[in-house]
Amino acid sequence: MIRDEIDALLSAIGSETRVDRYRRNSLHVLRDRFSPSATQLRVDIDGAVTATVIANVTAALQRATALAAKAILDPKNFAVTVQAGLVDRAPLVPVAQSRGTLYFGFPETGVDIRALERTPTAHLAESAVRELLDILPEDAGDEVALRALPQRRPQYRSAVKVLAEALGDETSMSLSMRPTGTDEVEHSVLTADQAREVPQVLSGVEEKRDILTVHGIMDGMRTRRRLFYVEERDSGDEYYGAIENDAQLQHVVELVGQPVVARISKVVRLRADGSRSHPSYSLLSVTPDTTIV
């Protein structure tokens, strides 16, 4: 390993001349660049913390991470099966446990020895967990994130369902992580109430899908959650939901507060008992409304 070689060079410096001090400082700087990411996922479990709950949550987190990794590696593949090889490519590394708090680390990414001025890069497992954090509710009152679930990729829907099933009826959890290369801590939750709601949000016998053309104002967005908000100009109706095409994010940011024409997919799930789900929306395309002078 590169750090082992640097450590060997450091241990070989035995004197305290000016040149030796300079070499030592330079090697310490170099070693820091090749140090593994200190990024950890913290999971706080609120409720009955038993060995069974800990085991179920840990297994569910690993499966959910593998599903998110699958979506990252092959966005056009909608299968939700998880092979052992996929888990090996995106493993969560248990670091510590203190009562209801679990800590997980991520494998070290490979480093090209020539890339001395490299930018820190995240392992696939870390990127997958970050995707999960972006999709899960931001807090206990985040109904928008839940309603957007049906429009997410199948692997993400399955990942959230797996986590919800692991919590049971009375257990909640919060997840937090400071991703590699950032100073901001990302935080998500899945409360017991939200976990009970997930199967209802994702269940359905039949889907009724419509394409809407909405003339209105791009009222806002949440970049991290990839959610949009559009208010229709004439009726004042509000539409919000998922931005599934990552390439649209910057375009949507530029249009916030401006008149737009948005093409929106609307999905309503019709259940066997005749009840209808809340509609969920996803953004297909958006352009400036040039008819507004």
> How does residue 114 score in pLDDT terms, banded at 50, 70 and 90?
very low
| Predicted confidence (pLDDT) per residue in 195-241, tens digit | 999 988 888 667 788 999 999 999 988 877 889 999 999 999 999 99
Rounded Cα–Cα distance for residues 95 and 103 (Å): 5
Token couple for 231: 């208010």
pTM recorded for the entire structure = 0.70
pLDDT tens-digit map of 19-62: 666 676 666 656 555 554 568 999 999 998 899 999 999 999 99
Structural contact between residues 37 and 120, judged by C-beta atoms closer than 8 angstroms: yes
Q: Is 292 helix (H, G, I), strand (E, B) or coil?
A: coil
Query: Where in the chain are the domains?
Result: 2-32, 41-202, 206-288
Please give the pLDDT value at position 117. 44
Binning pLDDT at 50, 70 and 90, where does residue 112 land?
A: very low
Of the candidate CATH numbers 1.10.3470, 2.40.50, 2.40.400, 2.60.40, the domain formed by 206-288 belongs to 2.40.50
**Residue located via tokens 């996803």:** 282
Q: Are 258 and 185 in contact (CB under 8 A)?
A: no
The pLDDT tens digits of the residues spanning 152-172 come to 888 999 999 999 999 988 899
What would the pLDDT profile of 162-203 be if each residue is shown by its tens digit? 999 999 888 999 999 988 877 788 999 999 999 999 988 888
Q: Extract the tokens encoding 91.
A: 């493993």
- Banded model confidence at residue 250, pLDDT cuts 50, 70, 90: confident
Q: What share of the chain has pLDDT > 90, as a percent?
A: 51
Of 173, 142, 184, 181, the C-alpha closest to 64 is: 173
β strands within the chain, DSSP E: 41-46, 93-98, 101-105, 172-177, 186-190, 206-222, 227-232, 238-242, 259-270, 280-288
SS3 label, residue 186: strand
Nearest to 145 by CA among 8, 242, 283: 242
What pLDDT, on a 0 to 100 scale, did the predictor assign at position 111?
46
Q: Which residue has the higher pLDDT, 120 or 189?
A: 189
Cα-Cα end-to-end distance for the chain: 63
